[in-house]
């Protein structure tokens, strides 16, 4: 049940028990993981910054706190932060050259809460630049590789977090999800990825990509671990106007809710030719397993779901084109040298500082907001978004959760999809709907196709984190996909 496991194989919950039992100290745990991170960094490139010294300092504080009975709920437990979260006095790059020298003067709310609970920060994980990408290939700091096959992408944009957790370098890492950036890499790396309801977790300190779609979450190996972390991260923050003042449920306590009687909606449109046949098989098997436990599978229709990717690729670039205007080389970040005039300063700082995908999205966004195009694109997309949300609302009148594949294929080769932007965008086809409607979603490993992980996605109505976590947890009690580690990282 965990006693025979090595330290890096243990889940967060198992580590917590081990620390409490005195099996090892937080320092020992931290030293072990830092060593693994170092060992595999060149191969995986999962981290941009490794905060070795700070980690050991925090571990020592945690050990003292445990001894004096002062321990917070995550005392001494390791965590890595996606480099999109601002961390005080630590380099925060967002995977971009334009922030290559940006040491944040403050902590994001998510970081504050996890640190206050006693978590030990191991480092900042690699990511697609400014969270724009589905393969972690757009990072200025080089691509992240998938521990299951290092020629393959781990997915994105939270690729570094997913790879680090899959490779057992850390039991947990935070991520952000705007169109699927937590769930899709989780599916491609055989880990659990949870995105909260929009407004559930504070966005203060989480560098904005698309403000009305961005939401924080975690990547772990078990639903139980995700529940532990979400319990600390979730909650109202007065510094975020879009933060919701809604009570935080006891996610860990709610995990034992049985699957029996659960009404699971299956989206007809999701099981079409776009979905790889082997993946479909694994997802269907998972659904069958849930049915065998007493869940009811109900076919539902989301009539406008096919428009979710084009809708997203109008709304997200529009918002990001505005959000990224603050990166101009004037007050922080990288400034181009020898500027002739102000226009030159701006254009070159940004032209040199941003990568190709980011520039494409800024350009797309600028275009769809520009005079003459606003009504046809941005306004239109926000209306279609309303339609898609209505579809979900109608569906949830009849079902408790919606289940299906997280991604259309298993992990793809690095470099394979970078030529045509649309092909890359279609990776998010099953995940984007939840972002447009602000719904919580989780991906949980449900098997392997050709030796590569497949993910099952569960989406719930607003604030139904408890329900989807419970369903995922119960599924993990029936299966052991999540216990399987990629060969050299076992």
Partner 1 sequence: MSLNKDQIEYIATLARLKLQDDEIADMVDKLSRIVDFVDQLQAAPTDDVLPMAHPLNMCQRLRADEVTESDQRDQVQKNAPLVEDGYYLVPRVLE
Partner 2 sequence: MSTDWEVVIGLEVHTQLATKSKIFSGSSTAYGAEPNTQASLIDLGYPGVLPVLNAEVVRMAAKFGLAVNATVAPRSIFARKNYFYPDLPKGYQISQLELPIVEHGELFIRDESGAEKRIGITRAHLEEDAGKSLHERFDKMSGIDLNRAGTPLLEIVSEPEMSSAKEAVAYMRKIHSIVRYLEISDGNMQEGSFRCDANVSVRPRGQKELGTRTEIKNLNSFRFVEKAINFEVERQIELIEDGGEVRLETRLYDSAKDETRPMRSKEEANDYRYFPDPDLLPVELDAEFIEAVRKTLPELPDAKKQRFVDQYQLKSADAEILTVSRALADYFETTAEKSAAVAQVAANWIVGGLSAALNKDGLDIRNSKIAADELAGLLDRIEDETISGKIAKEVFDAMWLGEGSADEIIAEKGLKQITDTGAIEKIVAAVIEANPGQATDYRAGKEKLLGFFVGQVMKETGGKANPGQVNEIIKRKLAE
Query: Which partner in partner 1, partner 2, none is near 99 (CB below 5 to 8 A by kind)?
Result: partner 2
Closest distance of CB 322 from partner 2, Å: 5
Q: Does 312 bind partner 2 (CB under 8 A)?
A: no
Please identify, among the stretches 169-177, 225-233, 363-371, 445-453, the one whose residues bind partner 1 according to the rule CB under 8 A.
Answer: 363-371
Q: Does 372 bind partner 1 (CB under 8 A)?
A: no
Closest distance of CB 366 from partner 1, Å: 5
State which of positions 406-435 bind partner 1 (CB under 8 A): 420-422, 425
Helix (H, G, I), strand (E, B) or coil at 469: helix
First to last CA, the chain: 17
Query: Which partner in partner 1, partner 2, none is near 284 (CB below 5 to 8 A by kind)?
Result: none
Q: Does 325 bind partner 2 (CB under 8 A)?
A: yes
Q: Apex CA 74: angle with CA 117 and CA 131, to 5°?
A: 80
Nearer to partner 2, 243 or 409 (CB): 243
Q: How far apart are CA 197 and CA 89, in angstroms?
A: 29
Q: Which two tokens stand for residue 254?
A: 């709610």
Nearer to partner 1, 41 or 347 (CB): 347
101, 116, 256, 370: residue in contact with partner 2 (rule CB under 8 A): 370
Q: Are 278 and 450 in contact (CB under 8 A)?
A: yes
E runs forming strands in 111-251: 120-125, 173-177, 192-195, 215-220
Q: Give me the 200-239 binding string for partner 2, x by CB under 8 A, dash otherwise.
A: ---xxxxxx-xxx-------------------------xx
Q: How far apart are CA 200 and CA 405, in angstroms?
A: 24
Quick check: is 347 catalytic?
Answer: no
Provide the b/e sequence for 308-347 (b: ≥16 CB within 10 Å): bbbbbbbbbbbbbbbbbeebbbeebbbbbeeeeeeeebbe
Share of the chain residues as helix, strand and coil, in percent rounded to the nearest 5: 45, 15, 40
Considering 153, 157, 243, 321, which one is annotated as catalytic? 157
Closest distance of CB 87 from partner 2, Å: 10
Quick check: is 157 catalytic?
Answer: yes
Q: Does 348 bind partner 1 (CB under 8 A)?
A: yes
Q: Give me the 431-450 binding string for partner 2, x by CB under 8 A, dash otherwise.
A: --------------------
Q: Does 367 bind partner 1 (CB under 8 A)?
A: yes
Considering 135, 139, 181, 243, which one is annotated as catalytic? 181
- Phi (first) and psi of residue 419, to 5 degrees: -80, -45
9, 284, 389, 418: residue in contact with partner 1 (rule CB under 8 A): 389
Closest distance of CB 248 from partner 1, Å: 16
Q: Does 462 bind partner 1 (CB under 8 A)?
A: yes
Q: What is the DSSP letter of 377?
A: I
Helix (H, G, I), strand (E, B) or coil at 121: strand
State which of positions 375-434 bind partner 2 (CB under 8 A): 378
Q: Does 360 bind partner 1 (CB under 8 A)?
A: yes
Instruction: Check whether the bond before 190 is cis (ω within 30° of 0).
Output: no
Q: Does 329 bind partner 1 (CB under 8 A)?
A: yes
Considering 25, 82, 124, 308, which one is annotated as catalytic? 82
Q: Does 198 bind partner 1 (CB under 8 A)?
A: yes
Q: Does 81 bind partner 2 (CB under 8 A)?
A: no
Q: Are 316 and 364 in contact (CB under 8 A)?
A: no
> What contacts 334, CB < 8 A, 6 or more positions away?
97, 98, 99, 100, 101, 349, 352, 353
Quick check: is 243 catalytic?
Answer: no
Q: Does 4 bind partner 2 (CB under 8 A)?
A: no
Q: Does 354 bind partner 1 (CB under 8 A)?
A: yes
Q: Does 106 bind partner 2 (CB under 8 A)?
A: yes
Helices (H), 402-464: 421-425, 432-437
Catalytic residues: 82, 157, 181
């Amino acid at each position: 049940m965990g006693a025979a496991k090595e330290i890096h194989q243990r889940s967060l919950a198992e580590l917590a028990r081990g620390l409490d039992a005195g099996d090892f100290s937080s320092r020992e745990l931290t030293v072990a993981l830092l060593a693994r991170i170092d060992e595999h960094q060149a191969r995986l490139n999962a981290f941009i910054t490794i905060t070795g010294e700070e980690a050991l300092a925090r571990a020592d504080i945690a050990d003292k706190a445990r001894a004096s009975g002062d321990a917070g709920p995550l005392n001494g437990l390791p965590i890595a932060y996606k480099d999109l979260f601002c961390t005080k006095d630590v380099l925060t790059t967002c995977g971009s050259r334009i922030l290559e020298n940006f040491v944040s003067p403050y902590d994001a709310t998510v970081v504050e809460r996890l640190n206050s609970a006693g978590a030990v920060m191991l480092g900042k994980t690699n990511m697609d630049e400014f969270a724009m990408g589905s393969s972690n290939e757009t990072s200025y700091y080089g691509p992240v590789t998938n521990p299951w096959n290092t020629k393959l992408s781990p997915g994105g944009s939270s690729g570094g977090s997913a790879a680090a957790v899959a490779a057992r370098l850390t039991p947990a890492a935070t991520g952000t999800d705007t169109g699927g950036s937590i769930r899709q890499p989780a599916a491609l790396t055989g880990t659990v990825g949870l995105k909260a309801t929009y407004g559930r977790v504070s966005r203060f300190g989480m560098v904005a990509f698309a403000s009305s779609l961005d939401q924080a979450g975690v990547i772990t190996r078990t639903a139980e671990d995700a529940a532990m972390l979400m319990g600390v991260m979730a909650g109202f923050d007065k510094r975020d106007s879009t933060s919701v003042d809604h009570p935080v449920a006891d996610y860990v306590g709610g995990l034992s809710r049985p699957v029996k009687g659960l009404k699971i909606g299956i989206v007809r449109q999701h099981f079409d030719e776009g979905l790889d046949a082997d993946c479909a098989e694994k997802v269907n098997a998972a659904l069958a397993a849930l049915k065998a436990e007493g869940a009811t599978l109900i076919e539902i229709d989301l009539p406008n779901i096919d428009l979710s990717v084009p809708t997203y690729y109008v709304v997200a670039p529009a918002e990001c084109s505005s959000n990224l205007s603050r990166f101009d080389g004037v007050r922080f970040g990288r400034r181009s040298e020898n500027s002739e005039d102000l226009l030159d300063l701006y254009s070159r700082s940004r032209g040199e500082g941003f990568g190709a995908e980011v520039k494409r999205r800024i350009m797309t966004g600028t275009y769809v907001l520009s005079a003459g195009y606003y009504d046809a694109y941005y306004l239109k997309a926000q209306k279609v978004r309303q339609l898609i949300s209505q579809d979900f609302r109608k569906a949830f009148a009849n079902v408790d959760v919606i289940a299906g594949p997280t991604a259309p294929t298993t992990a793809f080769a690095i470099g394979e999809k970078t030529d045509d932007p649309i092909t890359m965008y279609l990776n998010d086809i099953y995940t984007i709907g939840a972002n447009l409607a602000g719904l919580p979603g989780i991906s949980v490993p449900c098997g392997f196709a050709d030796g590569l992980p497949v993910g099952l996605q569960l989406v719930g109505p607003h604030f139904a984190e408890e329900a989807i976590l419970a369903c995922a947890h119960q599924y993990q009690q029936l299966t052991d996909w999540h216990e399987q580690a990629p060969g050299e990282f076992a």
